[in-house]
């Protein structure tokens, strides 16, 4: 779909349920909430699926849009979902999506219609275009979209940040986004448990290829020792990338005895998505993810070997 085709589709339909991805981040949540707000301003019935993994940081922003029990949508829309593997917990796996709005180049095309702009740093930038087309860019939409945009580019420090990203942020600020408050909330304030968890992560990091590849591991034991919960796990994937001289960073998050979530970040000459595709994952060239069904140590051996071979 083109942008105009997507806008026409949204105007022609009603009874929306907007769905965010598993382990939701600020982009999928902010984008879905903003789109819900936009559709409601246009007189549509719209709700967001109550993703059970939404953390406390984002719950207040999502609360006004959560679907009531028993809501039967006429149109189901995926927001920032690249594949069927990313359906949120508890969501029916056999759901047929009418539309997907996404910015991942590895989108599998699982929805009947797809509006995808892979050159955008966040899905929020696509929703911004929709908001302007609906003449619905008010302060509420601007706050939600600033959350989406800023979190997916790491407060404008990730390599996916472009001039267009900054221009979009400026447009949101002019529309009323409280960027000062949001920047502090999202990027400058952390719980004591989160800081203790970071200490454990840094103390066990491993480096390869003369410091070009750096790997951080987050085990279930670390979570228990630090007292951290899911609310403390935003943006852990950025920690390994802080090493001076590093080019590829890996974060391995243990989810079970034999389940490790892998997050890859890299410079533009290295294709992170190609590595993650070996394990059924994907994403962007410089930021991608997958799951390896092994313990963290074994997962590290596998992913490091593949990265070194690719390098």
Q: For the chain, give the mean pLDDT.
A: 95
DSSP string, 92-133: -TT---SEEEE--TT----SSEEEE-TTSS-HHHHHHHHHHH
CA-based max dimension of the chain: 58
Cα–Cα distance for residue pair 4/8, rounded to 1 Å: 6
CB 15 within 8 A of CB 63: no
Quote the strand ranges of 139-212, DSSP E. Answer: 206-208
Cα–Cα distance for residue pair 79/83, rounded to 1 Å: 11
Q: Model-level pTM? A: 0.86
Question: pLDDT digits over 246-301, tens only?
Answer: 999 999 999 999 999 999 999 989 999 999 999 999 888 999 999 999 999 999 99
Question: pLDDT digits over 197-206, tens only?
Answer: 999 999 999 9
Identify which of 99, 107, 142 has the alpha carbon closest to the alpha carbon of residue 124. 142
Question: pLDDT digits over 139-194, tens only?
Answer: 999 999 999 999 999 899 888 899 999 999 999 999 999 999 999 999 999 999 99
Question: pLDDT digits over 289-307, tens only?
Answer: 999 999 999 999 999 999 9
């Amino acid at each position: 779909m083109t942008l105009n085709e997507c806008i026409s589709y949204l105007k022609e339909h009603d009874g929306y349920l907007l769905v965010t991805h598993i382990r939701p981040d600020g982009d999928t949540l902010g984008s879905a909430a903003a789109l819900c707000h936009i559709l409601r301003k246009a007189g549509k019935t719209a709700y967001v699926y109550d993703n059970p993994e939404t953390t406390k940081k984002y719950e207040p922003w999502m609360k006004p849009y959560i679907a009531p029990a028993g809501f039967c949508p006429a149109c189901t829309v995926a927001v920032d979902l690249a594949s069927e593997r990313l359906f949120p917990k508890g969501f029916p796996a056999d759901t047929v999506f009418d539309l997907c709005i996404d910015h991942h180049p590895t989108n599998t095309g699982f929805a009947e219609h797809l509006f995808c702009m892979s050159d955008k740093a966040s899905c929020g930038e696509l929703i911004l275009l929709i908001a302007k087309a609906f003449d619905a860019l008010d302060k509420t939409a601007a706050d939600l979209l600033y959350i989406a945009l800023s979190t997916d580019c790491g407060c404008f420090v990730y390599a996916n940040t472009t001039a267009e990203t900054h221009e979009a942020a400026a447009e949101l600020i002019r529309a009323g986004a409280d960027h000062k408050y949001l920047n502090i909330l999202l990027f400058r304030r952390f719980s004591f448990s989160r800081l203790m968890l970071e200490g454990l992560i840094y103390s066990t990091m491993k480096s390869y290829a003369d410091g070009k590849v750096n790997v951080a591991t987050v085990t279930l034991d670390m979570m228990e020792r630090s007292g951290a919960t899911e609310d403390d796990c935003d943006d852990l994937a950025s920690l390994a990338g802080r090493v001076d001289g590093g080019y590829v960073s890996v974060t391995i998050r243990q989810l079970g005895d034999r389940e490790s979530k892998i997050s890859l970040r890299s410079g533009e000459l290295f294709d992170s998505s190609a590595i993650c595709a070996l394990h059924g994952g994907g994403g962007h060239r410089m930021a991608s993810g997958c799951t390896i069904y092994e313990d963290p140590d074994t997962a590290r051996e596998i992913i490091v070997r593949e990265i070194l071979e690719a390098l």
